[in-house]
Amino acid sequence: MFDTVLVANRGEIAVRVIRTLRELGIRSVAVFSDADADARHVREADTAVRIGPAAASESYLSIERLLAAAGRTGAQAVHPGYGFLAENAAFARACAEAGLVFIGPPAAAIELMGDKIRAKETVRAAGVPVVPGSSGSGLGDAELIAAAREIGMPVLLKPSAGGGGKGMRLVRDEALLGEEIAAARREARGSFGDDTLLVERWVDRPRHIEIQVLADGHGTVVHLGERECSLQRRHQKIVEEAPSPLLDEATRAAMGEAAVQAARSCGYTGAGTVEFIVPGGDPSSYYFMEMNTRLQVEHPVTELVTGLDLVEWQIRVAAGEPLGFGQEDVTLTGHAVEARICAETARVSGERVDFLPSAGTVLALNEPAGEGVRVDSGLAAGSAVGTSYDPMLAKVVAHGPDRETALRRLRGALAGTAVLGVDTNAGFLRRLLEHPDVVSGALDTGLVDREAAALVSATVPDEVYVAGALLAQARISPADDGRWVDPFSVPSGWRLGGEPAWTAHHFRVPGHAPVTVHVRGTDVLLGEKDGTKLDGARLLPSPRPGAVSLELDGVTHVFTHSPGPEGTWLAREGDTWHLAPHDPVDATGGAAAAHAGTLTAPMPGTVTVIKAAVGDRVTAGQGLLVVEAMKMEHLISAPHDGIVTELDVTAGSTVAMDQVLAVVTPETPEQPEQGEES
């Protein structure tokens, strides 16, 4: 067994791996970029080494710096986690050449299964059914279009390298193939350094089911059952569970055996996942999609139903130990469901919902606990969440004797999750898990996108604004310590012989219109004089540290609360609201000066593509720029027909949220000259 292991990753997976290393009595070495100097994984490791600036290419993706850190600390092995270099064959080879054990499969297996085209050919030869699609690698755009036409629309464009849904494009309209191929290549090149694509038949209402495999270096390969991963948004998994509510025992055994054969076909060792696409109406017709040659984000649900620590077995196998158990020894007990907590803000526009990266500093944190609840997290109060890395912050997992219990426990755990200072999707996930189709198990990979608009909280509850106003009122009121108070120091509008006046508090929750709350004693007025009047508003003694309790019209509302440098943060039932101060006078001037065609950055990030220039005539909906953050692209489109009169950024520019990017001015009809008929 190893004495020291370097963890070549960050965030929650680094914390997760360090936990198992500690349990095994193995010294852990963390690595960190400048952006992660105060990160939780750095604090929890036995040793930590700075490896470079925030840019991943100069830190977490630098093989040279990672190997140097291993050499300096006496590490004997490297655990890559997932993401970054976890599926990089060159990194696995470099570790071996440096005398380090790579805690993962052989480089040849990574290389083979990392090429989706070769992977399909290899497993097909081993008798594993595959999705119909293009054959051959290095296809040009014309060849991809021809293959798509031959397969028949709709089709799915996929990068041959990489995974995680990045660069994938579902194309239903043949006329859009050229544009979508260009976008898929751009994202694949940016994410994996390789823009090779393949095209596959799209299965409508498919289910995404994957099999966890474990193989040692002594010829034993077993599967640990399946995980249902059909709840996805833009091909990114957000909720996973084990076992699948779709499969019966016979199909589970058949898919498991197919996964074992796929692993054997490439000489696999360690933990890996074989992913299948399954028609919801015919689960016996499953097709191989790809093999992930690493630990999966969703591995905790398998751990909870099997009782096995997959990280521990990765380490033991890498150290040369046999598994010590066979397929007949693997049993599944109960049910487990996992939800991924991501730093993101949901913006609703009609029926469309955009999930944009969020950034900030964690002012306060409440992570759930209780029977059957597990949290894998890289967060701590004070953590800085930027846009340089993946937006996933934590995973909340629940286990129970049956699916209904696991879902109920997870909904409760999400309701108790609060990350103040950064927007997250916890409330969205809680509502998703209440959806009738999710509760019944009638899942497919398009469900989340179809239902997203109904799952986003489109309005801010009145009590949120009232709580914010009373907290603001309390901050400017003198302390009630029994001493005489000058009535002119109390924000009550007191005057001799007159009725107390209202105190106005102006707020803006990002993504919503500004709201003014007037307070007078226990009376509250939402809006202006013709607004909604609410009675009996008062703050009660705090029920717990970091909480605020509001009584309004006889109903008590409890929020997790934290003041911030730019307003107040409140959270409840998984939802979070940032009540920023709003100056209506300033805003009025800005609105008058700003043009309706001003385009601003919807998120902090980097401008990757410029599709227009000053002076160009554009049409409504035409794409003008692409902003990327946390490996997500967002297209900025013209709001109306007009001329681009300002363009304030270039490709590569770093932008802040709400920064002005461009202005599109409507063309005004030419006025007829005097004497001309009008």
Q: Fill in the DSSP letter of residue 424.
A: B
Q: Rounded distance, CA 359 to CA 182, Å?
A: 29
Query: What was the pLDDT predicted at 676?
Result: 45
d(CA 276, CA 283): 11
Query: Is there a cis peptide before residue 154, judged by omega within 30 degrees of 0?
Result: yes
Instruction: Please report the pLDDT score of residue 488 as a whole number.
Output: 52
Q: What pLDDT, on a 0 to 100 scale, did the predictor assign at position 671? A: 45
**β-bridge partners, 138:** none
pLDDT tens-digit readout, 342-358: 999 988 776 778 888 89
The contacts of residue 160 (CB under 8 Å, 6+ apart) are: 115, 116, 117, 137, 194, 196, 197, 198
Contact, 239 vs 441, CB < 8 A?
Answer: no
For residue 100 the two structure tokens come to 């380090």
The whole-angstrom separation of Cα 356 and Cα 346 is: 6
Domains along the chain with CATH numbers: 4-103 (3.40.50.20), 132-201 (3.30.1490.20), 462-477+494-584 (3.30.700.30), 594-665 (2.40.50.100)
b/e string for 77-96 if b means 16 or more Cβ within 10 A? bbbbbbbbbbbbbebbbbbe
Cα–Cα distance measured from residue 300 to residue 230, given in angstroms and rounded to the nearest whole number: 17
Half-sphere exposure of 329 (CA within 13 A, CB side): 9
pTM: 0.84
> What pLDDT score was predicted for residue 673?
46
Please report the beta strands in 8-62, taking only residues with DSSP state E, as ranges in sequence order: 27-33, 47-52
pLDDT digit string, tens, across residues 511-570 = 888 999 999 888 899 887 667 788 889 999 988 889 999 999 899 999 999 998 889 999
Confirm if 607 and 651 have CB atoms less than 8 A apart: yes
- Rounded CA-CA distance 299/336 in Å is 11
Provide DSSP, 639-655. Answer: SSSEEEEEE---TT-EE
In whole angstroms, give the CA distance from residue 304 to residue 337: 9
| DSSP per residue, 554-618 | TEEEEEEEEEETTEEEEEETTEEEEEEE--HHHHHHHHHHS-TTEEE-SSSEEEEEE---TT-EE
Task: Return the C-alpha torsion angle 210, 216, 220, 225, nearest 10.
Answer: -20
Which segments of the chain have a pLDDT < 50?
485, 589-594, 671-678
The region that residue 83 occupies, defined by phi over 0 for left and psi between -120 and 50 for alpha, beta otherwise, is: left
